[in-house]
Amino acid sequence: MAVSTGGVPAASESARGRRHDGRPDRQGPLRRSMSTHWYAWAMIAPAIVVMLVLIGWPLVWGVYLSLTDATEATIGRTIGVNVIPATYEFVGLDNYVQILTSSLFWDKLLWTVIWTVACVGLHYGIGLGLAVMLNRKLRLRSLYRVLLILPWAVPAFVAAFIWRYLYNSDYGVINGFLKLAGLSGVGWLDDPTTAKIAVIAVNVWLGVPFMMVALLGGLQSIPAELYEAAEVDGASPWQRFASITLPGLRQVSGTVVLLGTIWTFNMFPIIFLITGGGPGSETEILVTYAFREAFTGIRDYAGSAAWGVIILAMLVVLALGYRRTLRSQGDPW
């Protein structure tokens, strides 16, 4: 019916509908492509709905909150049968101006960037080193592999508590070793510099296995013939590494570095549980600071939401720029 009466719209509709679908189907193209898409849409619908309701809507509301002066005192509540109406007001970009002009924000941003770069850099460097080692022919290789993966199996909050105990200045084993070596103990979490080193060390310990495993998978997908050919041509080990291994890992590296950056940037439990942001707020990264803003003292919902929006904006820009760089180097997607 549709085909016979409305030829032109149907044709354009179907052309649009099966843009990605290379199959030429002469019989009822509209209906077939529509039904294909209907299935696809039905299958993604539950997840999309969940994400829109649980992420999209809170996001919109969060952005709105960031433009108001909502705090614990002004937000509407229901206590028993008493409904307290909300009294916060729209204040435009005040929160953003306040945050972006405060030195606190820039301090935290600087530390967050250092934290992310140091962690991801060490994750990648150590992970790649171990992956290359494990990719050699080796006795006990699978045993090494399993043992090296182990930190990944430890839930982050458990890891945080383990390390807090190791760092403990009185009973911690790290100071125990230092004393054994005749040195005096260090108050690891009491001094800003050592506390920063300490949290980075924990995150590196926790994150290297993921990188190692992902890069090992990448290494194993590089054809061995390439190495053989290079060796026949007299390439040195370093040349082989630089011109075969690294390019061969580019795609895997691209994805894991992006994921690693996002995860580290947002890494909440490590800092929250090990130092609690302390001493002072020295080790507080943007995410934990925004959390603290929202849920300690007088809860500053608006300020926290503004921090969140700023963090998200930075990550989206980062991801877009990153993807663009990868694509300009010929990466599909």
Partner 1 sequence: MTSPVHTVRTPPPTSPRTSPRARPRGERGPLASVGLHAGLLIAVAISLFPVAWLVLTSLKPRNGWLSTELRFFNDPSLDNYVRVLTGTEFPQWLLNSVLTAGLTMVLGVFLAASTGYAVSRFRFPGHRATMWLLLVTQMFPVAILIVPLFNLMARLGLLNQIPGLVIAYMTIAVPFCAWMMKSYFDTVPIEIDQAAMVDGLTPFGAFWRVVLPLARPGVAVTAFYCFMTAWGEVGYATVFMTQEDKRTLGVGLQQFVGLHWSDWGLMTASAVLIALPAGAVFLLVQRHLVTGLTAGATKA
Contacts to partner 1 from residues 234-273, by CB under 8 A: 251-252, 254-256, 259, 262, 265-266, 268-269, 272-273
Q: Could you tell me if 265 and 193 are in contact, meaning their C-beta atoms sit under 8 angstroms apart?
A: no
Q: Is 303 exposed, middle or buried (0-12, 13-18, 19+ CB in 10 A)?
A: buried
Task: State in angstroms the smallest separation of the CB of 70 from partner 1.
Answer: 9
96-125 positions binding partner 1, by CB under 8 A:
none
26 binds partner 1 (CB under 8 A): no
Task: State in angstroms the smallest separation of the CB of 229 from partner 1.
Answer: 11
Q: Pick from 115, 124, 188, 307 the residue near partner 1 by CB under 8 A.
A: 307
Rounded to whole angstroms, the Cα distance separating 125 from 123 reads 6
Task: State in angstroms the smallest separation of the CB of 202 from partner 1.
Answer: 9
Rounded to whole angstroms, the Cα distance separating 236 from 220 reads 20
157-216 positions binding partner 1, by CB under 8 A:
157-159, 161-166, 168, 170-171, 173, 176-177, 179-180, 205, 208-210, 213-214, 216
In terms of CB distance, is 1 or 236 closer to partner 1?
A: 236
Pairing state of beta strands 82-84 and 77-79? antiparallel
Give Cα separations from 323 to 9, 248, 255, 266 (angstroms): 36, 18, 9, 19
Q: Could you tell me if 275 and 202 are in contact, meaning their C-beta atoms sit under 8 angstroms apart?
A: no
Half-sphere exposure of residue 233: CA atoms within 13 angstroms, side-chain side: 10
Task: State in angstroms the smallest separation of the CB of 212 from partner 1.
Answer: 9
Q: How many residues does the chain have?
A: 333
In terms of CB distance, is 106 or 141 closer to partner 1?
A: 141
Under rule CB under 8 A, how many of the chain's residues touch partner 1?
110
Provide the 3-class DSSP secondary structure of residue 310: helix
In terms of CB distance, is 120 or 305 closer to partner 1?
A: 305
In terms of CB distance, is 1 or 233 closer to partner 1?
A: 233
Task: State in angstroms the smallest separation of the CB of 11 from partner 1.
Answer: 17
In terms of CB distance, is 192 or 269 closer to partner 1?
A: 269
Q: Which residue has the tokens 């019989």?
A: 27
- In DSSP terms, 82 is beta-bridged to 79
Q: Pick from 81, 83, 136, 182 the residue near partner 1 by CB under 8 A.
A: 136
Rounded to whole angstroms, the Cα distance separating 301 from 15 reads 48
In terms of CB distance, is 164 or 196 closer to partner 1?
A: 164
In terms of CB distance, is 119 or 130 closer to partner 1?
A: 130
23 binds partner 1 (CB under 8 A): no
For residue 283, give the nearest of 181, 158, 196 by alpha carbon: 196
CB atoms within 10 A of CB 131: 24
34-73 positions binding partner 1, by CB under 8 A:
36-37, 39-44, 46-48, 50-51, 54-55, 57-59, 61-62, 65
Task: State in angstroms the smallest separation of the CB of 269 from partner 1.
Answer: 5
Q: Pick from 28, 151, 187, 192 the residue near partner 1 by CB under 8 A.
A: 151
Amino acid in the structure at residue 83: V
Rounded to whole angstroms, the Cα distance separating 121 from 156 reads 20
Quote the radius of gyration of the chain (alpha carbons, Å): 27
Task: State in angstroms the smallest separation of the CB of 189 from partner 1.
Answer: 12
88 binds partner 1 (CB under 8 A): no
Rounded to whole angstroms, the Cα distance separating 182 from 173 reads 14
Q: Pick from 15, 104, 246, 316 the residue near partner 1 by CB under 8 A.
A: 316
For residue 70, give the nearest of 316, 285, 291, 304 by alpha carbon: 304
In terms of CB distance, is 196 or 284 closer to partner 1?
A: 284
